[in-house]
Amino acid sequence: PDAPRCLSDLIETFRAQLRDDPDVASAVAAIRALLGFLKQDRGETIQGLRNSLRDAIDTLSRVDSSVAVSSGGELFLRFITLTSLEYSDYSKCKEIMIERGEIFLRKVSLSRNKIAKLCHPFIRDGARILTHAYSRVVLRVLEAAVESKKRFSVYVTESQPDQAGQKMAKALRKLNIPVTVILDAAVGYIMEKVDLVLVGAEGVVESGGIINKIGSNQIAVCAKAQNKPFYVVAESFKFVRLFPLNQQDVPDRFKYKADTLKKGQNLTEEHPWIDYTSPSLITLLFTDLGVLTPSAVSDELIKLYL
Amino acid sequence: RASPLSGELMDLIRTEGQRMTAAQPSETTVGNMVRRVLKVIREEYGRLHGRSEESDQQESLHKLLTSGGLSEDFRTPYPSLRANVIEAINEMLIELEGTTDNIAMQALEHIHSNEVIMTIGYSRTVEAFLKEAARKRKFQVIVAECAPFCQGHEMAVRLSKENIETTVMSDAAIFAVMSRVNKVIIGTKTILANGALIAVSGTHTLALAAKHHSTPLIVCAPMFKLSPQFPNEEDSFHKFVSPQEVLPFTEGEILAKINVHCPVFDYVPPELITLFISNIGGNAPSYIYRLMSELYHPDDYEL
């Protein structure tokens, strides 16, 4: 009786957050919704809480199947486990969880600014940057570079099938940055003109590779071939416990939108929305935990999950 | 004297550190030592404050999730802090004095009989390394002279005094000779946070030639040369000296028509390096980030 109503409230809270604040990362919205869910949970035991949270996370993944929501959910579950290990009394434990949850959300909202501060010194004056699709973190970094009085120009890939690149170009023009939209197929052509490639990530996997909008792998391979640095900017809550060795290893639930998976058709007819870029193609990752080489990412994940 | 407030002490050290690094940005070891002292102070404070040993000072996902949100403010005075810090600094001094010997001790594992080793310029660490190996093994050394300062000459003289078979050659011949070389062993000025090097001009050429022939490139450098900076636009590593060495002023006529540069340092990317041998042992370039987190605190990366 209670459970379904709470879950639909959860979905509504999640959707409302994304509507009201288009700038918020989907993982943060998911964690905030889960924190709200935790606050009004009536359970009496940690086990019960974890089970209902798992259901909640599954529900959210069915609404938005991106890697970010999945990693946000995993992180939240881990957060619950770690806190419950310290306090055996359930009500005290729950109080601490809620308090820490708020602190975590506050810290996380500052992560984009931290990343921008770390990353913008790497953009030299007069640089030509190539970026892919629409990433709010990259936008924040470029904004910080403009604030530090650097002059640069940006090439954005159009990024089919949803033309996210056009959205990025519009946002960049508002910042008075000279921007050119190029075809996805023109990346190899343009690579000799660029000085560096800067992309966001939907998820950062254990090997130090990234999962990002389809086309990122191509750009990384071209950048490597022409010796251009390939920088990734991602917040730390995007670190996910996956270790794909090739494109097939990435689970289908991330590759396709939630509605497509529900329809249950033959997936070979569908186009995937994301691809995996291996760590050997990435120069540096800028996260709110600092500037990391790809080999440092697995260290971070180990520290958290083991 | 009143018990020192560690917060004030750290601010004092930081200000002095900023002044010293501003005076000569290419001497990164100054900044590195300041950062190590700051880390020592943080550690000693933490120990006195009663924080458990295993709690990590670094930012990590784990810390994000479990911390109560308070950061250290270093306000509580502890009378024994001064003595502890001084003792820790003395330990650090002893460690620093022994670095060259520690590195040289590892020589026998890396140099085998009848090998041809190549090096460039003059490095005291590499000199000690090769001399230690020469006591038990017989091998040859080719030294690239490293124009325009030609410090390779001095290296060759010192090595030959120890009866090591040494050959000096010009930098232009590096690629030509590389096919006969078994190992390349070099020193460096600085190690950057991504595992790259700031080394004497000519090292990048040597590294590329070694990569082309799949010859291992070994860098002998003590840990105090590890600097938590990444190569970025700051370009403060570049140091240009008088072009007199490249084109003497006696060539007055053409000087007006051309630009002459004499850079002192080179940037060597981490993909070209095989192994770092330091006073704490051998490490791969991809492991440098870990060594950095052990030596310095992330809040001190920017002095």
Per-residue pLDDT, averaged over A18-32, amounts to 84
- Test A289 with B61 for CB contact under 8 angstroms: yes
- Test B233 with A124 for CB contact under 8 angstroms: yes
Model pLDDT, residue A76 = 83
Spell out which residues of chain A touch residue B64, defining contact as CB-CB under 8 Å: 104, 107-108, 236
Q: What is the pLDDT of residues A238-273, one digit of tens each?
A: 888 889 999 999 988 888 887 777 777 777 778 899
Other CB atoms within a 10 A radius of the CB of residue A117 amount to 16
Same-domain pairing of A268 and A179: yes
Distance from CA of B63 to the nearest CA of A (A): 8
Same-domain pairing of A162 and A295: yes
- Test A107 with B62 for CB contact under 8 angstroms: no
Same-domain pairing of A170 and A104: no
Per-residue pLDDT at A4 exceeds 60: no
Spell out which residues of chain A touch residue B233, defining contact as CB-CB under 8 Å: 121-125
Model pLDDT, residue B121 = 93
- Test A304 with B61 for CB contact under 8 angstroms: yes
Same-domain pairing of A25 and A128: no
Per-residue pLDDT, averaged over B280-290, amounts to 89
pLDDT range class, residue A195, cuts 50, 70, 90: very high
Model pLDDT, residue A22 = 81
pLDDT range class, residue B181, cuts 50, 70, 90: very high
Same-domain pairing of A125 and A71: no
Q: Are strands B281-283 and B165-169 parallel, antiparallel or unpaired?
A: unpaired
Per-residue pLDDT at B53 exceeds 50: no
Secondary structure of chain B in HEC code, one letter for each residue: CCCCCHHHHHHHHHHHHHHHHHHCCCCHHHHHHHHHHHHHHHHHHHHHHCCCCCCCCCCCHHHHHHCCCCCCCCCCCCCCHHHHHHHHHHHHHHHHHCHHHHHHHCHHHHCCCCCEEEEECCCHHHHHHHHHHHCCCCCEEEEECCCCCCHHHHHHHHHHHCCCEEEEECHHHHHHHHCCCCEEEECCCEECCCCCEEEECCHHHHHHHHHHCCCCEEEECCHHHECCCCCCCCCCCCCECCHHHCCCHHHHHHHCCCCCCCECEEEECHHHCCEEEECCEEECHHHHHHHHHHHCCHHHCCC
Q: Which of A102, A128, A295 to mutate to test the interface with B (most CBs of B within 10 A)?
A: A295
Model pLDDT, residue B123 = 93
A223 burial via Cβ count (<10 Å: 0-12, 13-18, 19+): buried
Same-domain pairing of A166 and A298: yes
According to CATH, the topology of domain B102-297 is: Rossmann fold (3.40.50)
Over chain A, what is the mean pLDDT? Answer: 87
pLDDT range class, residue B1, cuts 50, 70, 90: very low
Per-residue pLDDT, averaged over A152-175, amounts to 93
Cβ-nearest to A121 among B194, B232, B298: B232
Q: What is the pLDDT of residues A93-110, one digit of tens each?
A: 888 888 888 888 888 888
Domain that holds residue A26: 2-110
Tokens 């990366």 appear where?
B301
Choice between B144 and A98, residue whose per-residue pLDDT is larger: B144
pLDDT range class, residue B244, cuts 50, 70, 90: confident
Per-residue pLDDT at B183 exceeds 70: yes
Same-domain pairing of A102 and A121: no
Which of A110, A132, A156 terminates a domain? The answer is A110
Model pLDDT, residue B57 = 52
pLDDT range class, residue A46, cuts 50, 70, 90: confident
- A263: contact with B, CB 8 A cutoff: no
Domain locations in chain B as residue ranges: 6-60+74-101, 102-297
Per-residue pLDDT, averaged over B41-47, amounts to 85
CATH code at position A240: 3.40.50.10470
pLDDT range class, residue A16, cuts 50, 70, 90: confident
Per-residue pLDDT at B116 exceeds 50: yes
Choice between A64 and B64, residue whose per-residue pLDDT is larger: A64
- Test A290 with B298 for CB contact under 8 angstroms: yes
Per-residue pLDDT, averaged over B15-27, amounts to 88
What ipTM was reported for this prediction? 0.81
* Listed residue (A35, A117, A46) closest to A72, CA to CA: A35
- Test A122 with B56 for CB contact under 8 angstroms: no
Tokens 């260290």 appear where?
A299
Per-residue pLDDT, averaged over B218-234, amounts to 85
- Test A288 with B62 for CB contact under 8 angstroms: no
Model pLDDT, residue A215 = 94
Which of A51, A76, A110 terminates a domain? The answer is A110
**Count of structural domains, chain A:** 2
Percent of chain A topping pLDDT 90: 42
pLDDT range class, residue B64, cuts 50, 70, 90: low
Over chain B, what is the mean pLDDT? Answer: 87
Tell me, what amino acid is at A138?
Answer: V
Sheet holding B265-268: strands in order across? B190-191, B197-200, B265-268
Per-residue pLDDT at B180 exceeds 60: yes
Percent of chain A topping pLDDT 70: 98
Cβ-nearest to B62 among A107, A125, A303: A303
pLDDT range class, residue B297, cuts 50, 70, 90: confident
Same-domain pairing of A157 and A286: yes
CATH code at position A73: 1.20.120.1070
Same-domain pairing of A92 and A239: no
Which of A50, A85, A110 terminates a domain? The answer is A110
Q: What is the pLDDT of residues A105-162, one digit of tens each?
A: 888 888 899 999 989 888 988 999 999 999 999 999 999 999 999 999 999 999 988 8
